Amino acid sequence: MTDRLSAQRYDVIIMGGGLAGLCLALQLRKSLPALDILIVERRRHPVAAATHKVGESTVEIAANYFDTVLGLKDHLVSKQLKKFGFRFFFSDGREDVDRVTEIGASHYLSTPSYQLDRGIFENFLGEAVRRDGIDFRDDAIIRQFELRPGPDEHSITYQRGNEQHTATARWLIDATGRAELIKRRLGLGQENGHDANAVWFRIGARITIDEWSDDPAWRNRCTPPARWLSTNHLVGDGYWAWLIPLSSGSHSVGIVADSRIHPSTSLDSFEKVLTWLDKHQPRLARELRDKQDLLQDFKYLRSFSYGCKQIFSEDRWALSGESGVFLDPFYSPGSDFIAIANTYITDLIARDHSGQSIGALTRVYERFFNSFYESTLSLYKNQYTMFGNLAVFPLKIIWDYTYYWGILCQLFFQRKLTDIGALSSVSGELERCKALNFAMQAFLNDWSKVGNADNLPMMIDHASLDWFAELNRGLRDELDDVEFVQRIAASSKRLQMLALEMVTHAQSKHIELDSTGISRIIDATLSESDAASMLAWLPVPDRTQPRQSTGAHTLQ
Ligand SMILES: Cc1cc2nc3c(=O)[nH]c(=O)nc-3n(C[C@H](O)[C@H](O)[C@H](O)COP(=O)(O)OP(=O)(O)OC[C@H]3O[C@@H](n4cnc5c(N)ncnc54)[C@H](O)[C@@H]3O)c2cc1C
């Protein structure tokens, strides 16, 4: 039991001062300057650059959270790297990356995102919270905690050096990452059926993918000719390898694989990784062998994906970051989920602080959070088998981004996550889009089992796809309530037209593909001709010969 008489009192205690905990403290400070906040973090600061943690590539929600919501743009621009978007190479088994299909943008799209050196970032955040008057105790470990429903305060006991401290607070936040203190105590863990493993390490040098070819035409296909600033994905059946540059000068390398296709035992040491890469990504293997004396760390994580039965409680506790859910790093959504959870937690604490009852709201926010989680899970679960498929994968990327930028990002960028009125006014369209996304993921998966395309030496350039680049630009529009409703309606229509066109394209080769689930969701007044232009750029036809059909076909 904690000695409550000698305990120090706070309004909020955050267990764990990693990315989620430190960002939450800054967000709370901005929203409620008078709050007394304690963060207890096991690691001693400053932490090591480069090798501190994974979670280095950000996408648009997280980037907007860091640079605008938390106001950290100066740090991001001056001390981290501006990310040159995502880039994918179908380079399985190939040395010649300049002769394979590349997917990415030939120049920067307009909404920024960043590559984070997590050590540099967390050191900066640690200093920022202290400057903001937050009691940040590093090198301190939580030994006990008690959750108290009702009016009593929660309490913790933590150890710093030889000293034991107790503290109490009205709110207790678990941001301890995979230590999952509250989740384990309350048995909230939830499997999600997505079984993949990851291995990662850092090399103390740049891996400049641009130098993997001498061909000036290939090198200059991108402006600037600096593909190394992208999150580069080298993809193949059942896996992808990442290359992420860090501002400390190191490069982060990782492999994520479906355990059914690439068993964990094939990747659990650096030597095995090199042998595996010799077969699957030989150009990267060669680069790593040349630089292996610069290896800085090596980590392996089995079955990294999981859900959680509850994130927010009316008993004034909540989970943020990996102490709650983690899905998959493929589209780098980890920091997005921190941004979303922290925004809900900040709102709940603010309402509670002002004396409002939060019972019903915690359940509504739980539902919204879960909806983000399920939508995002569907992008990954059972989808790794299509990662080497040239006919389907390029379209899946277009689909996934159109859903992410058109729907999920809109809710965050327009600050609607906690605006129940605005969310109610678009709930029908949101439900339709969510259902359509599930149906499309299943359809793409079916298609990948019957169709494929040739690995042609070319670039599928996202920057030259006008509507797609505009979708990215439009993220930063400031919309009023009416415009927000119009934006969601337009995004929904765009998704439906895209679905229609993708299905038509797939069925022109594979008439047997069943699209009944999709056509039930699509507005019956939309016709194939409405959708005729979005994929007009499509340079990779499914190489499968069209099947003989008995006549014209339409969406069933
Ligand atoms: C393979 C892989 C790749 C990923 N890639 C990306 C990516 O590219 N982009 C992205 O956005 N996300 C990515 N993620 C997710 C990202 O790593 C997480 O979202 C993020 O690191 C979670 O931050 P957090 O604060 O929840 O946890 P952490 O950063 O782990 O922080 C938890 C903190 O709690 C402290 N702690 C634990 N127990 C105690 C205790 N008893 N007492 C005191 N302190 C304690 C720890 O010391 C730690 O600092 C990836 C994840 C994996 C597994």
For ligand 1, the distance from its centroid to the CA atom of residue 176, given in whole angstroms, is: 8
Determine if ligand 1 sits within 6 Å of the CB of residue 45: no
Is there a single domain that holds both residue 355 and residue 275?
no
Q: Which atom of ligand 1 is nearest to the CA of 57?
A: 8
Instruction: Tell whether the torsion through CA atoms of 88, 90, 93 and 99 is positive or negative.
Output: negative
For ligand 1, the distance from its centroid to the CA atom of residue 54, given in whole angstroms, is: 7
Q: Parallel, antiparallel, or unpaired: how do β-strands 189-190 and 307-308 relate?
A: antiparallel
Q: Which pLDDT belongs to residue 25?
A: 98
Asked whether the beta carbons of 17 and 38 are under 8 A apart, the reply is no
H helix count then E strand count, the chain: 17, 20
Could you say which of 386, 414, 438 is where a domain stops?
386
CA distance 42 to 45: 9
- Evaluate the omega torsion of the peptide bond into residue 282 and state whether it is cis, within 30 degrees of 0: no
- Detail the DSSP E strand segments found in 457-552: 459-461
For ligand 1, the distance from its centroid to the CA atom of residue 332, given in whole angstroms, is: 13
Is there a single domain that holds both residue 57 and residue 147?
yes
Q: Whose alpha carbon is nearest atom 14 of ligand 1?
A: 55
**What's the rounded mean pLDDT across residues 453-473?**
94
Asked whether the beta carbons of 338 and 23 are under 8 A apart, the reply is yes
Determine if ligand 1 sits within 6 Å of the CB of residue 322: yes
Determine if ligand 1 sits within 6 Å of the CB of residue 58: yes
Asked whether the beta carbons of 188 and 29 are under 8 A apart, the reply is no
Q: Which atom of ligand 1 is nearest to the CA of 321?
A: 26
- For 64-106, the pLDDT digits (tens) are 999 999 999 999 999 999 999 999 999 999 999 999 999 999 9
What is the gyration radius of the CA atoms in the chain, in angstroms? Answer: 24
Which CATH number do you get for residue 220?
3.30.9
CA distance 47 to 39: 16
For ligand 1, the distance from its centroid to the CA atom of residue 520, given in whole angstroms, is: 40
Confidence of residue 6 (pLDDT cuts 50, 70, 90): confident
- For 218-265, the pLDDT digits (tens) are 999 999 999 999 999 999 999 999 999 999 999 999 999 998 999 889
Q: Whose alpha carbon is nearest atom 29 of ligand 1?
A: 18
Is there a single domain that holds both residue 333 and residue 399?
no
Q: Which atom of ligand 1 is nearest to the CA of 143?
A: 41
Could you say which of 301, 319, 352 is where a domain stops?
301
Determine if ligand 1 sits within 6 Å of the CB of residue 335: yes
For 299, phi then psi, to 5°, come to -135, 150
Is there a single domain that holds both residue 56 and residue 145?
yes
Q: Which atom of ligand 1 is nearest to the CA of 177?
A: 27
Is there a single domain that holds both residue 328 and residue 223?
no
Is there a single domain that holds both residue 288 and residue 416?
no
Is there a single domain that holds both residue 507 and residue 437?
yes
Residue 549 lies in a domain: no
CA distance 429 to 432: 5
Number of domains into which the chain is organized? 3
Residue 332 lies in a domain: yes
Tokens standing for 165? 């401290």
Could you say which of 301, 323, 338 is where a domain stops?
301
Q: Which pLDDT belongs to residue 5?
A: 52
Q: Parallel, antiparallel, or unpaired: how do β-strands 299-301 and 307-308 relate?
A: unpaired
Closest CA to 175 of 12, 342, 369, 15: 15
- For 509-538, the pLDDT digits (tens) are 999 999 999 999 998 888 766 665 787 766
For ligand 1, the distance from its centroid to the CA atom of residue 541, given in whole angstroms, is: 41
Determine if ligand 1 sits within 6 Å of the CB of residue 305: no
For ligand 1, the distance from its centroid to the CA atom of residue 247, given in whole angstroms, is: 19
Asked whether the beta carbons of 83 and 58 are under 8 A apart, the reply is yes
Is there a single domain that holds both residue 208 and residue 229?
yes
Give the number of other Cβ atoms within 10 Å of residue 317's Cβ: 23
Residue type, 261: I
Which CATH number do you get for residue 57?
3.50.50.60
Determine if ligand 1 sits within 6 Å of the CB of residue 334: yes
Q: Which pLDDT belongs to residue 544?
A: 63
Q: Whose alpha carbon is nearest atom 26 of ligand 1?
A: 321
Is there a single domain that holds both residue 507 and residue 412?
yes
Asked whether the beta carbons of 147 and 275 are under 8 A apart, the reply is no
Instruction: Tell whether the torsion through CA atoms of 173, 179, 183 and 185 is positive or negative.
Output: negative
Residue 493 lies in a domain: yes
Q: What is the pTM of this model?
A: 0.96
For ligand 1, the distance from its centroid to the CA atom of residue 48, given in whole angstroms, is: 15
105 lies in which domain range? 81-115+195-301
Contacts of 370 (CB under 8 A, 6+ apart): none
